Copies of this chain bind each other. A is one copy, B any other.
Amino acid sequence: MKELEQIILERGTILPGDILKIDSFLNHQIDVKVLDMIGEEFYKIFKDSNPDKIMTIEASGIAIATAASRYFGSIPVLFAKKTYALNMSANTYQSHEHSYTRDIDYNVQVSKDYLHEGERILILDDFLANGEAMNSMIDICNQAGAIIVGCGSVVGKSYQPGIQRIKDMGYHVECLASVKSMSDDSIEFE
């Protein structure tokens, strides 16, 4: 998606440790016009997969998934939680995720009340690099017997193993902007 690549080039920054920071328009401050463009693009890609629900993971994923939902007729969004909270049912599907940007391990949880066998799930997230977050959501869908109809990420890093790993599992994976390589001051897209 050329328009998004241009926005990343103009408004993203590269930090030491191979981190692409896009918190000027998505991960901290959110440009809602860009967000809706992202949501619409996911709809164009996955509209024929007929999802019943969009799954994502807190925090930034929530903006992306709710934006996309409107194009799919406002289907429900389900966001996986990263920590145990008192207001969460003990009745949960759980998986583990290592966060690269925070360098800690999360226990990813989804209530069994909101994910069911046979439900058609579109998984959306902001970044797909090592694929930890996406993998944990796939794991949870599989535990529930839900049908994963697609996996979409706003940004993918094709030089890291996440995208290929999820393709190898047989899922339809799409990244709106795929970073082929990144140096201290430049980004090359696929």
Contacts and interface: CB of A to CB of B under 8 A. Distances in A.
Interface string A34-76: 0110000000000000000000001110110111011000111
Given A63-B63, A63-B66, A66-B66, A78 B31 contact: no
Interface of A: 15, 17, 19, 21, 23-24, 27-33, 35-36, 58-60, 62-63, 65-67, 69-70, 74-79, 81, 83-89, 101-103, 110-111, 113-114
Contacts of A62: 30, 59-60, 62-63
B103 A86 contact: yes
Nearest to A103: B86
A101 B85 contact: yes
